[in-house]
Amino acid sequence: MKALLLKPSIEQRIQHLSSGLSPLNRRGDHGSVLGSRGKVVMHRSLPSNIILAVLLAIVILQISGIDRPVASPQSRQLVYLPLVLQAQSPLSPTNTPSPTPTLTPTDTPSPTPPTVPPPSTYSLRFYGNGVNDIDRVKIPLVSGSTALPVNIGATDFTLEFWMRFAPNENQSGPCNEENDTWINGNIIFDRDIFGTPDYGDFGISLYGNRIAFGVHNGSNGMTICSNTPLSANTWHHIAVTRSTGGTMRIFVNGNLERQITNGPAGDISYRVGRSITGSYVNEPYLVIGAEKHDYDRNAYPSFSGWIDEVRLSKVVRYSSSFTPPNSPFSTDANTVGLYHFDEGSGNTVLDASNASGGPSHGILNYGGSPAGPIYDPTIKRY
């Protein structure tokens, strides 16, 4: 191998770096010399960062060709001079950061959806099944040997409520004003006595899309019909009034639709202690949404639709047209039964009237196909 010439600049720079601040041509205790195999033996300990910088600089110079040893023109072979750094004292250890622990992933359970309070108001949706004592609300008129406040008819009274129905679900009609023809409509309220009553009875139905209101006093009966057909998919406020002198009225959405003054007079309440007629055990009940006896669902059909906010009063509240209430019914001294239908579940329908002698809570009998009645949180009046 041919002899190599080391450029002075590389040697001088190495000596300068290895000797700290000494002059470039200085030799001795603070200098460096080339060993017999081309090693640079350093006689002074350098800081570790200076050593690393020197090594990096030499590597860069060798790769880039700057200050590289030059061979004679006859050969391009290069001999690189490795550096062996010999320290007089051990290098100070560097602080090695502790490795970040790797966390083992755990299965995170899906968040539980927040509990959303149920709607606070509902209506009752009936389906007109008309069989087996289901799809209806039954309000008892007596408790033992005592009449409950909801047993109206001995004095003047008002029965009012909100109703709605879907098209083509109530096919009775047309409404005829005769004796007890109200029972041929789709029955909404049934306070009937099977056979001839000893006191009396009454009922309300949707008869050919008109409201039919009938009363019987044990001797004669009369049904009257509202004048204006009710439209489907619309909430309607209905009120009927009856006085013991025989005056009967029907109000639809606050308008006086029909009245007579010569209807059946006298007491038409349910008589406490009377014997049940045969197997017709629903006689001592006011039944909502169905024909109470399930006698013949085709001849005496039940109502299919929504009912909300029922109030019974022991006075005639309306004698002429009025503006229907724009909020849920409230109770007063004349209220004997008040049903908001806001329970949402269960088979007890609460009476909120606070009437003396009450309450007159109802029983919800669920069933049929479709099964009803159901609490509807969406289609409701209040």
- 242 or 87: which carries more pLDDT confidence? 242
Per the DSSP assignment, residues forming a β-bridge with 213 are 204, 224
Secondary structure (DSSP) of 275-293 = PP-TT-TTTTEEEESS-TT
Rounded mean pLDDT, 79-95: 44
pLDDT at 46 over 90: no
Q: CA-to-CA distance for 303 and 212, rounded, in angstroms?
A: 13
Question: Where residue 376 falls among pLDDT bands split at 50, 70, 90?
Answer: very high
What pLDDT score was predicted for residue 191? 98
Of all helices (H) and strands (E), which one includes residue 15?
A: helix 8-18
Least confidently predicted of 43-47, 56-60, 287-291: 43-47
| Confidence at 195, pLDDT banded by 50, 70, 90 | confident
Structure tokens at 183: 């029972």
- Per cent of the chain over pLDDT 90 is 66
pLDDT score for 118: 66
Cα gap 209→76, rounded to integer Å: 114
Least confident span in 4-8, 266-270, 348-352, 372-376: 4-8
Per-residue confidence (pLDDT) for residue 322, from 0 to 100 = 98
DSSP letter string over 76-87?
Answer: ------------
3-state class (DSSP) for residue 221: strand
Q: Of 279 and 70, which is predicted with more confidence?
A: 279
Task: Check residue 350 and report its DSSP letter.
Answer: -
Domain extents in the chain: 1-89, 123-376
pLDDT tens track for 88-108? 444 444 454 554 444 444 444
pLDDT of residue 78: 43
Q: Is the pLDDT of residue 244 over 70?
A: yes
Q: Is the pTM of this model over 0.75?
A: no
**pLDDT exceeds 80 at position 186:** yes
pLDDT per residue over 149-180, tens digit each? 999 999 999 999 999 999 999 999 899 999 99
pLDDT for the residue 149: 98
The answer to whether residue 353 scores a pLDDT higher than 90 is: yes
Tell me the sheet residues that pair with 146: 143
Cβ atoms of 226 and 210 within 8 Å: the answer is yes
Tell me the pairing of strands 186-191 and 201-207. Answer: antiparallel
Strands 123-127 and 374-376: antiparallel
**Greater pLDDT, 53 or 310:** 310
Torsion-angle region of 53 (φ positive above 0: left; ψ -120 to 50: alpha; else: beta): alpha
Q: Which residues contact 63 (CB under 8 A, 6 or more apart)?
A: none
- What pLDDT, in 10s, does the model give residues 302-347? 999 999 999 999 999 999 999 999 999 999 999 999 999 999 999 9
How far is 369 from 338, CA to CA, in rounded Å? 28
CB distance 267 to 274 below 8 Å: no
Segment among 104-108, 128-132, 214-218, 244-248 with least mean pLDDT:
104-108
- Which DSSP string do the residues of 34-90 spell out, in sequence order? E-TTS-EEE-S---HHHHHHHHHHHHHHHHHTTT--B--TT-------------SSP
Q: Find, among 324, 299, 320, 304, the residue nearest to 368 by Cα.
A: 304
In angstroms, the CA 291 to CA 128 distance is: 9
SS3 breakdown of the chain: % helix, strand, coil, rounded to 5?
10, 30, 65
Indicate the CATH number of 123-376 among 2.160.10.10, 2.60.120.200, 3.30.2010.10, 3.55.50.30. 2.60.120.200
> What phi and psi, each to the nearest 5 degrees, are found at residue 53?
-65, -40
- Helices 48-64 and 8-18, axial angle in degrees (round to 10): 170
What pLDDT does 197 receive? 73
- What is the arithmetic mean of pLDDT over 209-231? 96
- How far is the CA of 179 from the CAs of 199, 202, 215, 217, 221, in angstroms? 16, 11, 9, 11, 5
* pLDDT exceeds 90 at position 25: no
pLDDT higher than threshold 70 for residue 249: yes
- pLDDT, residue 85, reads 42
